[in-house]
A = this chain, B = another copy of it.
Amino acid sequence: MQTAIMIFDGLTALDAIGPYEVLAQLPGSEVRFCSKEAGPKRTDSKALALTADYALAEVDSPDVVVIPGGEGNRPLLRDQEVLSWLRDVDAETRWTTSVCTGSLVLGAAGLLEGKRATSHWLYREALREFGAEPVAERVVADGKLITAAGVSSGIDMALELVRREHGDELAQSVQLAIEYDPQPPFDAGSPEKAPAEIVEAVSAFARRNWPSVA
């Protein structure tokens, strides 16, 4: 099974690495990190580069495509080369997926029209602009489209993909291999669960520092 993970300058690293770590464990798995142009791509914090070994043109029939989020993906919403590539590969994928604001790129490519989908909680409502029905769930599957919520949710999304594609036993084996037995010190990982003042503080920070959709 070949997985294409499309990266770009300004990506959020965990959006890409969560699904990568799950999917790379599968027997016979090949993961190709790709980008408009091959080479190192800086993350949103600027502290790290991940290398795209492949240009998009070199990845033309992946079984799975993963689109991560991060402030750097906003220019992709108007990048016809990227959107056209995405439509072309989606026509043949078994699974087309996104993490965090990666779903905005799927939306801009026209792939969310009439679909149930999700995104980072701060950007979920923006999915309506692309004809999607926003869903406040961590992993949302609609046919072969699987979108995930913010940043860390790509791990859960990829495990769900493995469960659907390969069955319960392999999904459990991967979960155990990466020891995914989450025990965060607080139950504050969603706006429904976090204290109201924390939700407001993060929302205010994001309004000041994170780019809007357009």
Report which A residues bind B (CB closer than 8 A).
12-14, 17-18, 20-21, 24, 30-33, 40, 43, 45, 47-51, 53, 100, 120-121, 138-139, 149-153, 155-156, 159-160, 163, 168-169, 171-173, 175-191, 193-195, 198-199, 201-202, 205-206
Taking CB atoms, residues of chain B closer than 8 Å to A120 are: 179
Report how far A195 CA is from B139 CA in the complex, Å: 24
Taking CB atoms, residues of chain B closer than 8 Å to A185 are: 156, 159-160, 163, 171
Taking CB atoms, residues of chain B closer than 8 Å to A18 are: 14
Shortest distance from the beta carbon of A133 to any chain B beta carbon, whole Å: 19
Shortest distance from the beta carbon of A129 to any chain B beta carbon, whole Å: 21
Listed from nearest, the 8 A-B pairs whose CB atoms lie closest are A150-B179, A181-B189, A182-B182, A172-B188, A14-B21, A49-B51, A151-B178, A24-B45
Partner of A13, one of B17, B149, B205: B17
Taking CB atoms, residues of chain B closer than 8 Å to A171 are: 185-186, 188
Shortest distance from the beta carbon of A196 to any chain B beta carbon, whole Å: 11
Q: Can you list 11 A-B contacts with CB-CB less than 8 angstroms, sorted by A residue number?
A: A20-B48, A21-B151, A40-B49, A40-B51, A121-B179, A138-B183, A150-B178, A152-B179, A152-B182, A175-B184, A175-B186
Known A-B contacts A14-B18, A45-B24; A189 and B199 likewise in contact (beta carbons under 8 Å): no
- Asked if B181 contacts A190 (CB within 8 A), the reply is yes
Partner of A12, one of B21, B156, B188: B21
Partner of A47, one of B30, B155, B169, B176: B30
- Asked if B180 contacts A195 (CB within 8 A), the reply is no
Taking CB atoms, residues of chain B closer than 8 Å to A182 are: 152, 155-156, 180, 182, 184, 189
